[in-house]
Structure 1
Amino acid sequence: MIDSQARSLLAKEKTTGLSFLLILSALMAITSLSTDIYLPAMPVMARDLQGDAELTITGFLIGFCIAQLIWGPISDHVGRRLPLFIGMVLFIIGSVGCALSTDIVQIVFWRVFQALGACTGPMLARAMIRDLFSRTRAAQMLSTLMIIMAIAPIAGPLLGGQMIKITSWHATFWLLAVTGVLMLLSIFWLPETLPEEKRVKASLAGAFRNYYQLLTNIPFMRFTLCLAFYYVAAYAFITGSPFVYISWFGVEPQHYGWLFALNIVGLMAVSLANRRLVHRYPLEALLKFAVMVAVLAALVLAVATGTGWGGMGLIVAAVLVFFSMNGIIAATAAAAALDTVPEVAGSASALMGALQYGSGIISSLLLALFSDGTPWTMGWIIALFTLASAAMVLTVRVAKKVS
Structure 2
Amino acid sequence: MTQSSRTATTPRFPLWLLICASLTALAPLSIDMYLPAFPTLAADLGVDIGSVQLTLGTFLVGLAIGQSFYGPVSDRFGRKAPLYVGLSLYVLASVACALSGDAPALMAWRFVQAAGGCAGMVMARAMVRDRLEAHESARAFSSLMLVMGLAPILAPIVGGAILTVLGWRAIFWVMAAVGTLVLLLVHFRLEESLDPRRATPLRLGNVFDNYGALLRDREFLGYSLCAGFAQSGMFAYIAGSPFVLIELHGIDPSHYGFVFGANAFGLIAMSQINAALVRGRSLDRVLQLALLAPCGAGLLLALANLANVAALPVLLVGFFIFVAGLGCITPNASALALAHQGHRAGTASALMGTLQFGMGTLAGTAVSLWHDGTALPLGVVMAIAGIGAVLMRMFGRRSAVVAAAE
Amino acid at match of 1:223: Y
Cross-structure match for 1:199:
199
CA distance in 1, matches of 2:236, 2:288: 22
* Residue 201 of structure 1: how far off its partner (Å): 3.2
Contact 2:33 2:157 in 1 (8 A): yes
Deviation for aligned residue 1:162: 1.3
C-alpha separation in 1, matches of 2:204 and 2:26: 27
Letter in 2 for 1:249: H
- Aligned identity (percent) is 37
Q: Does 1:241 align with 2:241?
A: yes
Q: Deviations over 1:373-396 (max 9, x none)?
A: 100110011001210111111352
Instruction: Report the counterpart of residue 304 of structure 1 in structure 2.
Output: 304
What whole-Å deviation, never above 9, does each CA across 1:158-187 have from its counterpart, x for those lacking one? 111111111210000000000011011000
Does 183-192 or 198-207 show the bigger shift?
198-207
2:20/2:124 contact within 8 Å kept:
yes
Q: Is the 8 A contact 2:231 2:360 kept in 1?
A: yes
Q: Unaligned regions of 5+ residues in structure 2, if any?
A: 402-406
After TM superposition, the structure 1 stretch with the greater mean CA deviation from structure 2, 386-395 or 112-121, is 386-395
SS in 2 for 1:90: helix
In the TM superposition, what is the alpha-carbon distance from 1:50 to its structure 2 partner?
2.4
Partner in structure 2 of residue 169 of structure 1: 168
Structure 1 residues 150 and 254, CA gap change in structure 2 (3 angstroms) = same
- Is the Cα contact below 8 Å between 1:77 and 1:204 reproduced in 2? no
2:143 is aligned to 144
**Matched letter for residue 323 of structure 1:** V
Give, in whole Å, the separation in 1 of the partners of 2:122 and 2:355.
Answer: 12
TM-fit CA distance, 1:7: 4.1
Residue 3 of structure 2 contacts residue 130 of structure 2 at CA under 8 Å; is this kept in 1? no
1:3-402 correspondence runs (5 A) = 5-7=4-6, 18-51=14-47, 52-188=51-187, 189-201=189-201, 203-309=203-309, 311-395=311-395, 396-397=397-398
Give the drift of 1:368.
2.7
| Distance in 2 separating the partners of 1:289 and 1:17 | 27
In the alignment, residue 185 of structure 1 is paired with which amino acid?
A: L
Tell me how far 1:307 sits from its aligned partner.
2.7
Q: Secondary structure at the match of 2:82?
A: helix
Partner Cα separation in structure 2 for residue 223 and residue 360 of structure 1? 16
Counterparts of 2:52 and 2:2, CA distance in 1:
47
The alpha-carbon deviation at position 232 of structure 1 amounts to 1.6
Distance 1:44 1:201 in 2: 48
CA gap of 1:202–1:311, structure 2 versus 1, over 3 A, is closer
TM-score by length of 1: 0.94
CA distance in 1, matches of 2:182, 2:17: 13
1:30 to partner: Cα distance:
0.3
Partners of 2:221 and 2:253 in 1: CA distance: 39
Instruction: Give the partner amino acid of 2:33.
Output: I
Instruction: Measure the CA separation in 2 of the matches of 1:7 and 1:322.
Output: 34
Whole-angstrom CA distance in 1 between matches of 2:46 and 2:212? 42
Q: How many residues align?
A: 394
The answer on whether the counterparts of 2:3 and 2:195 sit within 8 Å (CA) in structure 1 is: no
Q: Is the 8 A contact 1:74 1:204 kept in 2?
A: no
Separation of aligned partners in 2, 1:208 and 1:175: 38
Question: For the Cα contact (< 8 Å) 2:236–2:364, is it kept in 1?
Answer: yes
Write out the 4+ residue segments of structure 1 that deviate beyond 6 Å after TM superposition: none
Cα separation, 2, equivalents of 1:377 and 1:201: 45
Structure 1 residue 132, shift from structure 2 partner: 0.4
Cα–Cα, structure 1 residues 326 and 102, in superposed 2: closer, same or farther, change >3 Å?
Answer: same
CA positional deviation for 1:4:
6.2
Mapped partners of 1:3, 1:111: distance in 2: 35
Deviation at 1:204, TM superposition (A): 4.8
CA contact (8 A) 2:233 2:385 kept: yes
State the one-letter code of the partner of 2:53: E
Contact 1:236 1:381 in 2 (8 A): yes
Q: Which runs of 5+ in 1 are unaligned?
A: none
Superposed displacement of residue 122, structure 1? 1.3
User: What is the CA-CA distance between 1:344 and the residue it aligns to?
Assistant: 0.7
Question: Which AA in structure 1 matches 2:14?
Answer: L
Higher mean alpha-carbon deviation, 306-315 vs 186-195, is at: 306-315
